[in-house]
Structure 1
Amino acid sequence: MTEAPTASRRRKLTPERERELLQVTAELVGEVGYDRVTMASVAQRAKCSTATLYRQWESKPRLVMSAWKALTDEGKRDLSQIDTGSLRGDLMGAAQYLVVDDPVRDTFTSVPAAIVQDRSLMEVVREILIHPILRDLSQLLDRAVDRGEIAAGNPVIGLADQVLLGPWLAQTILHGTPATQELMESVVDLVLLPALVAQPATA
């Protein structure tokens, strides 16, 4: 009974105003870093109340990550739209999706370090950024199973997200540089695709 009023209040923000608040959030994160941004500082610059921000986004982690996703997604094809009709084509599309230039990546450079220290931020990152990728990748593999390109019982299906996303994440952590399209395509052709289409060993 208490959720309906909240939903109603959230609808009062126009798309233009919502984007403006997210843009202000991104600007502040870029200027002072994630740790120093507060809901009050965003509200002050955006000329709104902190109550407005809390009603719409509930917390600073959710506000910041919503800003990152919204600004990153502008003009970018969603992973769920990739459907080439073949497993390799879809996996290559997913690999390319992961390394498409992020126009606001430099704005949020302080966020990865904060994730290590802030469990609530990590949970929101998983929810807003990672889980949609995992969902879309799972659907991609399901289509390949339906087409007969992958055996339904292939255990690599359950590991595919780690095989594909592991190098994407590790490149930044281990080497301090973002993953390249060449790297991700090599992961697909040399590691993930052969494992997915391998025939099960027979006794």
Structure 2
Amino acid sequence: MSALIETRALARRDERRQAVLLQPTDFALHRGDRVSITGASGSGKSVFLRALALLDAPTSGQVLWNHRPIANADIPEYRSRICYLSQRPALIDGTVLDNLRFPFSLKSLRKRHFELATVTALLQHAGKSPDFLAKNASDLSGGESQVVALIRSLQLNPEVLLLDEPTAALDPASSRDVEALIDAWFADDPTRAYVWVSHDLEQAQRMSDIHLHMSAGVLSGATQA
């Protein structure tokens, strides 16, 4: 099966501290993959995910998308198809609706259009009514902010989600809302895939079929969860 994303000897080094953050890593994410990565804090999990998202430039190696290196001109399209969600999402001032409309103001997405029906359906999966759209972003709880950030990505119909401990700071109910959204997104199209970095081994096993482990910048495992 062809890989959606592939890394070849991808590595990162902190030159200032002369520290290796990510050892040369070969990795492939295929359609239908649900991958989790666990490991201690500072082991390189987030370093690897941010490199996959093209948020931090690797020291060496490369990321391939559909078997091709990613040119600078392709990065905006890549980031709309390969969506990264951090532990602490950044929202703009305004309402929930303002935040969900915001991506379509970006140059790379101006040919696409906001669809209220899509957003309303996603809100329903997270147990939110349409009235939630009118809430001010500054009044949202951490869990509500994460739901908004996730829906902001899911409405773009991404091929891949890169989830960097998205529920680590959330209460159990909010964590379930996030998990339900991701389950619904994945079930809707079996060609999608995600990588979920988690500090919670039970969650990692529950939300993945392939469990990898990161230690001292080395990614290993590739066992069926």
Shorter-chain TM range is under 0.3
TM-score (norm 1): 0.26
Q: Which has the higher contact order (CA 8 A, sep 6+)?
A: 2
Larger radius of gyration: 1
**Which structure has greater helix proportion?**
1
